Amino acid sequence: MFEEIKKVLVDAINVDEEEIKPEAKLNDDLGIDSLAAVELALELENEFDIRIEDEELAKLETVQDVMDIIEAKKK
């Protein structure tokens, strides 16, 4: 799961792979602003065949949060 999310971050948002860790903050550590977050959500939705609502997206702060929401939605 982590490797798949890392691939989406690198490919879609152009994040440095070395910076991606579960505890990394999307905004502060990875430089993902609100526009990039929307793009990331779209890529994750396509990759994992899920739907991330706007209010859920607003709550995502770390890479771990992204993993948690995807795991919850895949069940």
2: which DSSP letter?
Answer: H
Does 68 participate in catalysis according to the annotation? no
Whole-number CA gyration radius for the chain: 11
Contact between residue 66 and residue 29 where contact means Cβ atoms under 8 Å apart? no
Catalytic: which of 16, 28, 33, 49? 33
User: Any idea which residues carry the catalytic annotation?
Assistant: 33
